[in-house]
Structure 1
């Protein structure tokens, strides 16, 4: 909120000043917990005088028309000028807007900005009408001339008068002091124990924290979000390191870190004396806003006392959860999930876990995991949602699942899957690579997507309450990062979608008349077999599946654009068969993108487009398709025969390359066509007078089109 406010103050003030005619050389804004600061340099002394001309009615116009023009222009008749115009003699009003002093404009502008400031939340206090994020105590507003003389800008907002006096640190320098310029202000502020620049405060905190930790062979756990937050809480940061009571050091490091961050805004410090950067949390760093005679000893004592109380709660949760795991196992911990609604149309969390378990078992062979292990992990992956620790710290879901799974004796990748199945949570998040984790993560996300598509709860515009875009991107990144060869629509999404719809029908969530699906169940046959059964039984495809696949493709476009691949290149590959095999699709798109960056690729694209345009026009005119029957015996010139040879060679190289999914080799073979295609168009007139020759040449162009379209749909590529 502070950083946004500083930028809003800067933008609104400078925009308004420029609009009023006051240009400037530069501006800088700062923020602290107690003040917003704006300095504008190189501001004009006053706005320039503006001269405006307005054309009025004809001289012989009715009197009322002239009077209306005078009122609108704000002048009297003596100020009118008569001039010749193409319509005769016409009145003109020449209006001068005299310049205004900078102080007057600043006062007017600043009051307007303050009264209409876009705080996310604001409050009103006292008898005035002013709303501000907190009670506003004082306004320092001065205008400094080149000579160094400072002028107080006359400004009064709800009884708060602007002056040249301000205050430093609330406790270490509470007395007011006057300033004459921005440089004077910053220098005196530092002496008054205030660091104005937020980046400087953050840098100071981080450097001091690292120095203190390093001196004891420890390491501060980096947390940029917490650093920015703490830098916004202090004006004069004093970094202190405290101890954690030994009785809490056996808590999982994630618990210690989360509790200290969320409750106390402490940085975690871990042990790296043995070269292990992933060591346990053993200390904390806190940032005070004051220097004390005892060098922070009292502050640390108070913080450690409060921290011990917080960690005592965490230790209770941890030990109680472990007791439940020992007594009942994770399946026992998860019993309460049947009472937790996932969605009113999709059942409880327990219902969802059952679906994910069945799907993970069937995905497992596709990702190299053992089906029994994938099912075991999926069955307990949501159990920690019922733990007291996750109830207190929801951000630890998954992490605590790993600890509880280990405590329950699970192994072979099952505990890791409990933690990793939520991932990736965003574009920069870690992607699971262990087979069991991949199987459960895919099952979790596919169940979410197909389920909400089945009940027609899709993202609309910027609204995505169920994070379905994130889930789709997660599936894409899981497939691509692990090089999975999965036909997404036919192998996973379509049959699973049908299964969910059938289950919903049986439970009455969707009216039966909306469905035409067989009875399907998880425990009888596999997804692929169910899909084949539904096809053989005459079941029509569910239209929503195509819509869901298009949703995946949209997310893939965003992902690949971030990777630097053009949208038209992606479209050219999406138009090809097998576009639900995302790994194959991306491999093709990357090869095409590289191909089009070369001179051969760019020129061949132009040759293809020329051939395609000629063909399209001829086929529309003749009502036939020119895609077969070209014969070299009808060739009349050497360039024509050379193109036949080049096409034959390219076809012989491209077909095996495509079968081997070697798109780079296919593109290279296609690039070899360029010289022959260029020479053909330079030497040959396609629409010859001889109809046999014309037809043969059009069919030859059809071969160019067919060979190129076998690699990618180049009609969709721009250029």
Structure 2
């Protein structure tokens, strides 16, 4: 008799949230496989499925019987298990009975805390069907559902109502139940193409039966590829190329079980509207895929994915066209109306919109950002007056009808309206770019003016919100300060703008309202941004020790490295240094130096070591190495050539190794001891000129 079989579990529901479908599929599969593995059933190759109306998993080669279980239990302490006559107490008898054994069957185990009774035994494994039935309710309970709902007249809750459950082990139905629904082999197909019940023969036939007999492509990834293929083919038929947004593709895939592409069109006059408006309307509001021509310009066409094969696709297309036309007509109206009033005339109206009660209106914020932009402008090679004017205009497009309808187009519409007004000096482009980066992986502003506005905007927001006591906590970050902090660090690093953060935040604090004390939170905002910078480097694959090595450096009378560009050069120099043979040896040596210096309390250490007190050849050699090396490294560090500075440090390896092999630092002669400690302190200072080398991995 074969002791393994295939397993199929399918949970049938009403339409699941499309943006959560992939995660639900993955977690459903992972929880089931993990539970089966923990039970010793050794699940084999696994394939997971998800459609709008089902989550499923098929597992090959599952053991049909749990292996014999080894049972180990610790009982009462021996002292409490037997009385003065050596007879078992009620504690010992009760423990033995709970194990199904006699007291004489129990072992005695010695531990650091004394002797204990111990039971070792075996029990037969349970059938897989029993374990699966017990596991399923646990899986449903553990699924990370964002918001549960109830249905019917019972107390069950899930992300959507559950209507059927298929559980097959081989070709046999496993008796199970979840959320009040009993298991069977009966599944359901497409709502329209396959509404009849479908009897699933086995796990192996599941996917094929659904596809061939019920018009359901159960494999989420296969369905995604099919949607993509159809969209691209339809766009070619329309004479262009489909604009594929990955998030939209994922969402559409999660909305259909049997995709069918439909080509729609709209009137050419709508192409006079900015293309971003058309794209936003089609993608964001209607889940359509826009089509571009060979010249990269939008065509008056789109592709939509229906969840069925219509006998009259032209009518389906006309229905979609009737839906999109009013939206495009509204956008056309907004575009015409907004341009009647120059964007520069909307500045005063910003006073009507509150940014934050204690920080004032959007106008107040614009004035602060403008003042800070004017101060920063020379450091970006930008005319101060231009920076100030651009900053005052930065939020004016929020007052337009178009941005009111399409808030995701803020900045983009500012660029269009500023250009229509005839504003020059790079202001239109800066109004769009100062929002960048908008999201992880988005590009930073490319123009110097855009960079000035982006930096000033984020610095003002960070210092202001921290100053009123609303710094992010836990998952709460209503002002998106984490994104603002990361964006600020990315702009400064990637544009190579040498702006010290502490000074930047100090300047921003100066412009806050008088009753908002920004100076008090400058250090906190700095630490917050450094945490964002650390995450930035970790995402690039750099070791956390590299970040900490630079983070611990102190410059300018004990201040941390607060210039992101300088920090970036140091951390990449450390990364390159770590590839050298000498790096780990010197890191270990520097740890040893620091430990020795920490333990030298009370020893009179001179400012500099004296050549006259050097006795051992190894310390003379190290002294001779350190003196010229200090000057070389200092010069290179001043020039910002940190990689070359660290490479120079690597030349000290032999001298350092010889010193620790041959020299006793804590000599009985206190004068000699102090001199050697002075030599090590000089070495330590050399090691921390670029980064704290002791923080680097030494193994």
TM-based fold match above 0.5: yes
How far the C-alpha of 1:556 sits from its partner, in A, is 1.9
Q: Is the 8 A contact 1:83 1:92 kept in 2?
A: no
Match of 1:288 among 306, 320, 331: 306
Partner of 1:599: 581
Partner of 2:25: 6
CA spacing shift, 1:673–1:339, aligned 2, 3 Å: same
Q: Is the 8 A contact 1:571 1:716 kept in 2?
A: yes
Q: Find the aligned partners of 1:115 and 1:635 in 2 and give their Cα distance.
A: 72
Match of 1:648 among 621, 627, 630: 627
Bigger mean CA deviation after superposition, 98-107 or 26-35: 98-107
Partner of 1:588: 570
Q: How does 1:410-421 map to 2 (within 5 A)?
A: 410-421=423-434
Q: Find the aligned partners of 2:397 and 2:684 in 1 and give their Cα distance.
A: 57
Instruction: Report which of the two structures shows the higher radius of gyration computed on alpha carbons.
Output: 1
Match of 1:439 among 435, 438, 452: 452
Q: How does 1:27-46 map to 2 (within 5 A)?
A: 27-46=46-65
Partner of 2:539: 562
CA spacing shift, 1:626–1:270, aligned 2, 3 Å: same
How far the C-alpha of 1:93 sits from its partner, in A, is 8.5
Q: Does structure 1 residue 448 correspond to structure 2 residue 448? A: no
Q: Does structure 1 residue 252 correspond to structure 2 residue 274? A: yes
Match of 2:606 among 626, 632, 643: 626
Size of the aligned set, in residue pairs, is 660
Partner of 1:243: 265
Q: Is the 8 A contact 1:334 1:384 kept in 2?
A: no
Per-residue Cα deviation, 1:61-87 (whole angstroms, up to 9, x for no partner): 5886577557755x6xxx746358679
Q: Find the aligned partners of 1:53 and 1:672 in 2 and give their Cα distance.
A: 59
Q: Find the aligned partners of 2:682 and 2:120 in 1 and give their Cα distance.
A: 73
Q: Is the 8 A contact 1:609 1:715 kept in 2?
A: yes
Q: Find the aligned partners of 2:72 and 2:189 in 1 and give their Cα distance.
A: 52
Partner of 2:333: 316
Q: Does structure 1 residue 141 correspond to structure 2 residue 167? A: yes
Match of 1:668 among 644, 647, 654: 647
Q: Find the aligned partners of 2:292 and 2:352 in 1 and give their Cα distance.
A: 39
Q: Is the 8 A contact 2:156 2:180 kept in 1?
A: no
1:652 is paired with a residue whose SS is helix
How far the C-alpha of 1:413 sits from its partner, in A, is 1.1
Q: Find the aligned partners of 1:120 and 1:504 in 2 and give their Cα distance.
A: 42
1:43 is paired with a residue whose SS is strand
Bigger mean CA deviation after superposition, 159-168 or 451-460: 159-168
Q: Does structure 1 residue 548 correspond to structure 2 residue 561? A: no
Q: Is the 8 A contact 2:466 2:525 kept in 1?
A: yes
Q: Find the aligned partners of 1:599 and 1:5 in 2 and give their Cα distance.
A: 47
Q: Is the 8 A contact 2:108 2:117 kept in 1?
A: no
Match of 2:242 among 187, 199, 220: 220
Q: Is the 8 A contact 2:260 2:307 kept in 1?
A: yes
How far the C-alpha of 1:257 sits from its partner, in A, is 0.9
Partner of 2:151: 125
Partner of 2:320: 303
Q: Find the aligned partners of 1:230 and 1:257 in 2 and give their Cα distance.
A: 16
Per-residue Cα deviation, 1:253-285 (whole angstroms, up to 9, x for no partner): 11111111222110111122x3xx3x2353211
Q: Find the aligned partners of 1:198 and 1:175 in 2 and give their Cα distance.
A: 22
Q: Does structure 1 residue 211 correspond to structure 2 residue 233? A: yes
Q: Find the aligned partners of 2:68 and 2:190 in 1 and give their Cα distance.
A: 44
Partner of 2:197: 176
How far the C-alpha of 1:444 sits from its partner, in A, is 0.6
Per-residue Cα deviation, 1:87-107 (whole angstroms, up to 9, x for no partner): 9xx999998755443334433
Query: Any unmatched runs of 5+ in structure 1?
Result: 145-149, 516-540
Bigger mean CA deviation after superposition, 252-261 or 168-177: 168-177
Bigger mean CA deviation after superposition, 683-692 or 420-429: 683-692
Q: Find the aligned partners of 2:252 and 2:225 in 1 and give their Cα distance.
A: 11
Q: Find the aligned partners of 1:114 and 1:693 in 2 and give their Cα distance.
A: 72
How far the C-alpha of 1:665 sits from its partner, in A, is 2.6
Q: Find the aligned partners of 1:456 and 1:282 in 2 and give their Cα distance.
A: 50
Q: How does 1:606-621 map to 2 (within 5 A)?
A: 606-617=588-599, 619-621=600-602
CA spacing shift, 1:98–1:305, aligned 2, 3 Å: same
Q: How does 1:17-28 map to 2 (within 5 A)?
A: 17-20=36-39, 22-28=41-47
2:198 is paired with a residue whose SS is strand
Q: Find the aligned partners of 1:404 and 1:423 in 2 and give their Cα distance.
A: 18
Query: Any unmatched runs of 5+ in structure 2?
Result: 1-19, 110-115
Q: Does structure 1 residue 677 correspond to structure 2 residue 656? A: yes
Q: Is the 8 A contact 1:345 1:504 kept in 2?
A: no
Q: Find the aligned partners of 2:145 and 2:334 in 1 and give their Cα distance.
A: 39
Higher RCO (CA-CA < 8 Å; seq separation 6+): 2
TM-score (norm: length of structure 2): 0.86
CA spacing shift, 1:48–1:255, aligned 2, 3 Å: same
Q: Is the 8 A contact 2:545 2:696 kept in 1?
A: yes
How far the C-alpha of 1:456 sits from its partner, in A, is 2.5
Q: Find the aligned partners of 1:652 and 1:403 in 2 and give their Cα distance.
A: 55
Bigger mean CA deviation after superposition, 45-54 or 469-478: 45-54
Q: Does structure 1 residue 263 correspond to structure 2 residue 285? A: yes
Q: Does structure 1 residue 397 correspond to structure 2 residue 410? A: yes
How far the C-alpha of 1:397 sits from its partner, in A, is 0.8
TM-score (norm: length of structure 1): 0.84
2:201 is paired with a residue whose SS is coil
Q: Find the aligned partners of 1:598 and 1:665 in 2 and give their Cα distance.
A: 12
Q: Is the 8 A contact 1:271 1:282 kept in 2?
A: no
Partner of 1:185: 206
Q: How does 1:325-336 map to 2 (within 5 A)?
A: 325=341, 329-336=342-349
How far the C-alpha of 1:303 sits from its partner, in A, is 0.5
Q: Is the 8 A contact 2:157 2:179 kept in 1?
A: no
Q: Is the 8 A contact 2:605 2:675 kept in 1?
A: no
Q: Find the aligned partners of 2:696 and 2:180 in 1 and give their Cα distance.
A: 65
Q: Find the aligned partners of 1:67 and 1:674 in 2 and give their Cα distance.
A: 68
CA spacing shift, 1:462–1:626, aligned 2, 3 Å: farther
How far the C-alpha of 1:471 sits from its partner, in A, is 1.3
Bigger mean CA deviation after superposition, 40-49 or 477-486: 40-49
Per-residue Cα deviation, 1:426-464 (whole angstroms, up to 9, x for no partner): 331110121111111111111101212222222223432
1:31 is paired with a residue whose SS is strand
CA spacing shift, 1:131–1:357, aligned 2, 3 Å: same
Per-residue Cα deviation, 1:537-573 (whole angstroms, up to 9, x for no partner): xxxx934222222222222222223334333333333
CA spacing shift, 1:577–1:37, aligned 2, 3 Å: same
